[in-house]
Chain A
C-alpha cells in the first residue's frame, strides 16, 4: 500500500525491541480510510505491540508511524495524549472500565477529559449507548453488567470523541461466543458507516466476517496479507 491522501495509518519499517526480545521487526503497513483490517497470529507474535504503537501508547524503537497525517515520532508525551484523545478510540480485551462509575459516566469520561461539560458529555454518551442498544443499562456499574454489555460500554467510550481510527485488541477474547458475535456485529456496522477499524483477533471466522483485509503476524513480521471480498 502506498502513502496516498486516503491513508489513515502508515507504518514504515517499524521495529520494537523490549529489553529481552524483539516484538516487531520491519513492519510496514498502510490502512486506508474506511478499511477494516484484522490482525491475526499466534500468541506473543507482536499483535498487541503493533496496536499499541498505532494507538500511541508506546513508541517504536525505529521506523515511523503516521496516523491521520500526524507523525507520532514528532509528538511529546502530552502531544501523544492529545492524539489518543482526538484521533483514536481503543477497545481492550478486559474492558478497562472504572468500577466506581456508572456506564454512562464511564462513556462520558472520554469527552470530559477534553473539557466538555458534564451535561454535554452525558447527552452524547446517552446517544451512543442508545445506538449500541444499552441505554437502559446506563445507570448500572460495570460489576452489574454482563461481559458483552461491558464491552459495548467500552466501544461507546472509544467512539465518544469521533476517532478517525478505532483500535480493538481481542475485543471478544473475554466474551462467550454469543456476546462476542454481537460485539463483532457492532464493529462491522460501524465499519459499514465508514469507521476505519484495526482489530486483533484470534477468531478466524470473526475476522473473515468483518474485515476487508487480514494480516498475519508471525514472530514480529507480517507473514501474509489477504484481501477479502465482503458479503454484508
Chain B
C-alpha cells in the first residue's frame, strides 16, 4: 500500500496544475453545493424552520391583569397539552405617533429580562439586550429596513426617554419592542402576555383546543387578545415567500453545475493519466493497485477542497440566508455541511471509480499507445472538412478539438449551458425586480412633496416638541399658491386616514386626493383612475380580501359612511392602502385639510428655488426630501442574484479551465510539434481558446432560451408569492439587445476559463516537450 501512496504522491507532484485544479474545483463546487442546499432547505418552509429554531409560541394571549391573578396565570401554563410556556410578561402599548420616532408606529412593548427562555427565543442580531431602565430593543427582521438607527432616542411626551440598544427578531411576533421588567413596571402595565407551546398545534383546531385548555380557569373577560402562530405565518409568507421561487431554481442549478464539473474534472484526470497507467502496469502494479493510485491521486486533493469549500460555503451562505430569511443565528443546518462533506467526495470517488474501472480493464500495451490512433470516425471526418475550411488554420484546428473528446466536450458544454442559464435567469430576475420596484416606488426627482401639518386624525399635544410649524395659509390657499408659483406644472393635494372597512375588523389606510391625480396619483396597472365614488387599490389589497374591480365597499369614519367602487389596480406595494377622490373625504370627514401636496416641476425649475419660493408664501409647508426608491427586499434579491450568478459563472468557467488544461496536457506533444513547424504563440492561444469558444457559442445558444423559460416560470411565481398580480411589464423584461448580449455570456465564460491555460499552452517549452517523448 505504501508503494501505491508513494506513486500517487509523486504523480500528484508531477501534475501540480491538475492536482490544484481538482482541489480548487472541488472546493468551489462544495461551497456552491452548501449554498445551494442551504437555500433549498431554508426555502422549504422558512417560517416553520425559523419557528422551530426559536421555539416559537403557538399561541400568545394577552390577559387583563386587573381581572386575573398571577397565580391564575401561572396555572394556565400547567394545563394539559401545554408543552412549554413563558411569561407572564408585562405589556404596554407605547404610542410613538406623537414622539420623535413617529416612524416606528405604535409599539406593543413587553418587559423581558432576557431574549432566551423556553418559548420565543429571540434572535438578537444587532446591538445588545436591554440591561437597564431607559433601554429598548425593537423587533426587526434581519435584512429589512431598520425603522430607526441603533442608538436612537424615542421621546414620548409624558413617558421616560427610551434609547434603542438592539434589534431582535421574534418569529412569533410576540411584541414590537422589549424593555427590562423594571422599566416595564414603571410604565404601569395592566396587561400581561403569556406565550404557549402546545404538544400538538398542527392545525387551527388544535390551536383552538390548546387555547380552550389554557383559558379554562380564567374569566373570559380577562382575555384581551390572542395571536395564533398560523396567523403570523400567513403574514410571514407574504414577506419572505418572494424569495422562495427565486432561490429554489438557483439551488438546483448550483447543485447540477457542481456535480457536472466535479465529474468532468475527475474523469478527465483519470483519462489523461492513461499512459501512466500503462507504465504502472508494465512496472508490475496489479490492476487493483493501479486503481488505488488513481483514486488516491484524485481523492487526496478532493478531500482538501471539500473541507475548504464547506467552510467557504458557510461563510458565503450565512449572510445570504440571513438577508433573505432573517434567521442568521444558526445559519446552515449541520446536515447540509455533512451532506456536502460526504456527498462531494462521493461524487468524486464515483466519477474516479468509473473512469478508473475503464483504465483497469485497459491492457498494458493499449494503454501505453493510447492516444496514438485516429480518434473517433466522426472526429476524422470533421477534421477533413475543417482542414479545407476558409478559416485560419489555428482556428480550424481548435474547432476540431472538441470532437476528439466528445464526452468531455458534452460535460463542458452542459456546464456552460447551466452557467449561461443562470446568468440569463438572474439578469431577468434583476430586471423584473427593478421594473417592479420602479413602478411601485418610482423616484421622481422633478417632484417636490410638501407637508402641510400633521395628519388630521392625530392631534399634537400642547407640549409636544413641534418639529414643523403649522401652515399659515388655508388648505385652499396653499393649493392655489403652489399652483400659481412659476415652475409648477401639476399639483396634487392629499390626506390620509385610517378608515373602518364596514363588515370587517379591518382598518385600511385611505389616501384621499384632489387635483392632478392623473399625472401625480399612483400608477395604474389595470383599469382607470378613480372618479367620484370610486377607488383604486393595489392587487395585494384586492387579492387578500377576495375583491375584484367593480366591487363596492363601504367606508366608515367618525360615524359617517360612504361607498366606493373599485375601478383600477394601482402599482403600489402597500397592501393596506387604497386611493380615492377628495369627495369621499368630504363625506367621511367634512372640512378636513390636505396634509401633503405633491408638485410636478417644469423642466429647468430647480427644487431649491421652488422650495424657497413656497416658503416665502407659506413658511409652514415643509418640503420632504426626494424619496428613496430602494427597497431592502429588492436589494437582497438583486444582491443574492448577482452573488449566485457570479459563483455559478465562475464554476462553469472553472470547468472550461479544466478542459483546456487537460487538452493541453494530452496534446503537449502535438503542441510542441505545431510550435516547431512555426505556429506562433498567438496562434496557439487562438487555437486553444477556439477549442472551447465553439462550446461557448453553442452553450450561449442553448442557455439563453433555457434561462428565458426559467424566468417565465420564476417571475410569475415570485409575484404570486408576494400576493401581487402578475404584470406583463415585470415579466417581459428581455429585449433583443439584452438577449444578444446574454448569448455572448457563453463565449465570455469559455474565453475567461480558457485564457490562462491557453496562455500556458502558448508558452510550452518546445524542446522540453519533445525531449520527454
Contacts and interface: CB of A to CB of B under 8 A. Distances in A.
Interface of A: 48-49, 52, 55, 57-58, 77-78, 81-82, 84-86, 90, 92, 94, 96-102, 105, 108-110, 112-115, 117-119, 122, 141-144, 157-158, 161
Given A99-B373, A112-B393, A119-B388, A86 B678 contact: yes
A84 B767 CA distance: 13
Interface of B: 371-375, 379-380, 383-384, 387-390, 392-394, 400, 404, 669-670, 672-683, 765-767, 770-771, 773
A158 B400 CA distance: 23
A110 B678 contact: yes
A30 to B, nearest CB: 22
28 contacts: A52-B766, A52-B770, A57-B767, A58-B766, A77-B680, A81-B680, A81-B681, A84-B676, A85-B678, A90-B677, A92-B770, A94-B773, A96-B669, A96-B672, A98-B670, A98-B673, A99-B371, A100-B375, A100-B383, A101-B384, A102-B387, A105-B383, A112-B393, A113-B674, A113-B679, A117-B390, A119-B388, A142-B372
A96 B384 CA distance: 18
A86 B773 CA distance: 25
Contact of A122 (B388, B669, B681): B388
Given A49-B767, A100-B400, A100-B404, A113 B394 contact: yes
Contact of B678 (A92, A113, A119, A142): A113
Contacts of B379: 100
B155 to A, nearest CB: 75
A119 B383 CA distance: 15
B770 A99 contact: no
A82 B678 CA distance: 6
Contact of A82 (B383, B680, B771): B680
Contacts of B380: 100, 141
Nearest to B388: A118
Given A58-B767, A100-B374, A143-B373, A157 B677 contact: yes
Contact of A118 (B383, B387, B394): B387
Contact of A109 (B393, B404, B770): B393
Contacts of B383: 100-101, 105
A115 B392 contact: yes
Contacts of A48: 767, 771
Contact of B375 (A58, A99, A105, A118): A99
Contacts of A105: 383-384, 387
A143 B376 CA distance: 13
B677 A99 contact: no
A143 B676 contact: no
Contacts of A141: 374, 380
Contact of B676 (A49, A90, A102): A90
A55 B373 CA distance: 28
A114 B770 CA distance: 22
B766 A109 contact: no
Contacts of B678: 81-82, 84-86, 110, 113-114, 161
Which of B387, B674, B679, B766 neighbours the largest number of chain A CB atoms within 10 Å of its CB?
Answer: B387
A52 B373 CA distance: 27
B680 A57 contact: no
A48 B672 CA distance: 15
A96 B770 contact: yes
A81 B675 contact: yes
SS class of chain B's interface: helix, strand, loop or mixed?
A: helix
Contacts of B393: 109, 112-113
Given A113-B393, A113-B674, A118-B387, 18 more contacts: A48-B771, A49-B767, A57-B675, A57-B767, A81-B678, A81-B679, A81-B681, A82-B680, A84-B675, A98-B670, A99-B374, A100-B380, A108-B387, A118-B388, A119-B388, A122-B388, A142-B372, A158-B677
A118 B373 contact: no
A157 B375 CA distance: 22
A89 B648 CA distance: 47
B393 to A, nearest CB: 4
Which of B379, B672, B676 neighbours the largest number of chain A CB atoms within 10 Å of its CB?
Answer: B676
B681 A78 contact: yes
Which of A57, A92, A115, A143 neighbours the largest number of chain B CB atoms within 10 Å of its CB?
Answer: A57
Nearest to B770: A92
A82 B773 CA distance: 24
A48 B676 CA distance: 14
Given A98-B670, A108-B387, A84 B372 contact: no
Contacts of B394: 113
Nearest to B391: A118
Contacts of B375: 99-100
A120 to B, nearest CB: 11
Contacts of B384: 101-102, 105
A75 to B, nearest CB: 12
B399 to A, nearest CB: 12
A85 B674 CA distance: 10
A161 B669 CA distance: 22
A58 B380 CA distance: 32
B666 to A, nearest CB: 11
Which of B372, B669, B673, B773 neighbours the largest number of chain A CB atoms within 10 Å of its CB?
Answer: B673
Nearest to B677: A110
Which of A78, A96, A97 neighbours the largest number of chain B CB atoms within 10 Å of its CB?
Answer: A96
A64 B766 CA distance: 20
Contacts of A96: 669-670, 672-673, 676, 770
Contacts of B673: 92, 96-98
A133 to B, nearest CB: 22
A67 B681 CA distance: 21
B404 to A, nearest CB: 6
A77 B763 CA distance: 9
A49 B677 CA distance: 17
Contacts of B670: 96, 98
B770 A85 contact: no
A109 B677 contact: yes
Contacts of B675: 57, 81, 84
Contacts of B674: 113
A58 B765 contact: yes
A122 B673 CA distance: 20
B96 to A, nearest CB: 73
A94 B771 CA distance: 11
Given A98-B670, A100-B404, A119-B388, A57 B374 contact: no
B681 A77 contact: yes
A158 B371 CA distance: 23
A90 B669 CA distance: 14
Contacts of A101: 383-384, 387
